[in-house]
Amino acid sequence: MTIRLVVIATILTGIIACAQDEADPIPAYLSVGQLQEAMTGGEFSSAELVSHLLARIEEIDRRGPGLHSIIEINPDALAIATALDDERRAGRVRGPLHGIPIVLKANIDTGDRMATTAGSLALAGHRAPDDAFHVAALREAGAIILGKTNLSEWANFRSSASSSGWSGIGGQTKNPYVLNRNPCGSSSGSAVAVAAGLVPLAIGTETDGSVICPSGINGVVGIKPTVGLVSRDGIIPISHTQDTAGPMARSVWDAALLLSAMAKKDATDPASAGYPGDKDYTAGLSAAALDSVRIGVWRKYRAAGKRPRVEAIFEQTIARLKELGATIVDPIDFAVPDLANDAEYEVFLYEFKTNLNQYLAGAGVEPPADTLAGIIAFNRDHADESMPWFGQDILEQAEGKGTLDEPEYLRALENSNTAMRRALDEVLSRHALDAIVAPSNSPAWQTNFLNGDHDRHFLSSSGPAAIAGYPAISLPAGEVLGLPVGITFLGAPFTEEKLIRYAFLLEQAIKARKNPQFIRSLEE
């Protein structure tokens, strides 16, 4: 069966389960390279691909399993695809993303007919004045912005009792592997859309764990760049110290392609001072071994020792890295600085208030949602719709904070970002490490609106790279009872090129990713 026939068959029959036969794949599960090869060969056009994906979103995301990963469709997507097809026929191909559909987390600005809401009803209908800097770069590269993805409302910075993947506008996103399990947040919709074959590529944002955790839990690759590698312009903020956008894909290669297009120097972003220059992050991925690479094993991550099945996957991963030629330093004596986690939260509260009010003013948001105080009041006035499951205690705490010149904020910044950078720099230098490796996540917990995300044995290793603003990449490493588990590499600032290569070589060696089957629960 040709690819064109697969497209037609998929649209007509509304296939929900993903194709497992590699000889007869559906386009949703092809790589970017395979999609480009098919479009170049005339098997299907970009417009036909977009039509297919829109049909698949209707069947899987809005009906069928009802994943609720896509919050809005770009009404101009087909027209953009048609124009890019015309360019291709005229002999102009902009690059590897030409005609490739991408979805964006709904806290990322687009200067088009789509809204930028962070999932909040208070911002329903808000349209940004222009594209985020990295979105403009993606359009220039020929990518099609297909839609916006659901997220944990306000990027999971609204309530201490929240359910990851829930927003007032988008409802609850489901984990495509087991539907009553959580997709992790806050870039839940972006990870789920890629994992479920609704789109080949997505962008999420991370402040602490919001790219790494949903990537690990949904069996995709996620890159959390060094803060400043990708412009922070046009992202509804939490923390200018830690916020960054990052790519998500089903392979390391495709995630690297997306990072190559979105990582451009923004001279107006102070964090870009150390920008290393434009790069093709797929270059050098053909290296066959990890000879001379030193990788440290971090064993003091959150909930270490509580998840034996995850730790078994971790041990298998370490063994495979040794087989690939890496020198393994096990363990490294690295621990999160004592005050870092509490201080990080304090930094978030201060920066969220200042950063959000600045964003709202610059984006021309109409009252009452033009300030944090106005958003809090809106939620109170519309509590039945805005707060059916949990409240807004974090927003209220942030509103009570002062300015960024207060001693309390400056101490918190020193005890979080500065202390974590110092600790990571020291351990990387002392052991002459190229990277540190740790498990990304434990298996997904059951979604629970009563208790939220509280799982005292939830495993996480995202904190150090997030707090320091350093890079990390998560890739699929195995499964526990059908639920994906990821492995994370983290390293020094602007070492994405190295981390991507290590992740690619490991990915090719273990080939751990499996497509989801949309099982309703583990009990069935």
Annotated catalytic residues are 105, 186, 210
Q: Where are the strands (E) in 152-273, listed by range?
A: 166-167, 171-172, 201-206, 221-224, 244-249
Question: What's at 272, amino acid-wise?
Answer: S
Q: Which of 216, 233, 203, 229 is nearest to 470 (CA)?
A: 229
Q: What is the dihedral of CA 511, 199, 170, 482, to 10 degrees?
A: -20
Identify the residue whose tokens are 């964003």.
Answer: 359
Task: State the alpha helices, DSSP H only, in 94-244.
Answer: 133-140, 153-156, 188-195, 212-217
DSSP string, 261-307: HH----TT-GGGGG------TTTTTT----TT-EEEEP--SBTTTS-
Q: Which of 476, 120, 410, 48 is nearest to 26 (CA)?
A: 48
521: left (phi over 0), alpha (psi -120 to 50) or beta: beta
**Structure token digits, residue 349:** 């509260």
How far apart are alpha carbons 487 and 461 in whole angstroms?
A: 9
CA 425 centroid distance within chain: 25
Rg, Å, the chain Cα set: 21
Coil vs helix vs strand at 374? helix
Coil vs helix vs strand at 5? helix
482: left (phi over 0), alpha (psi -120 to 50) or beta: left
How far apart are alpha carbons 163 and 182 in whole angstroms?
A: 8
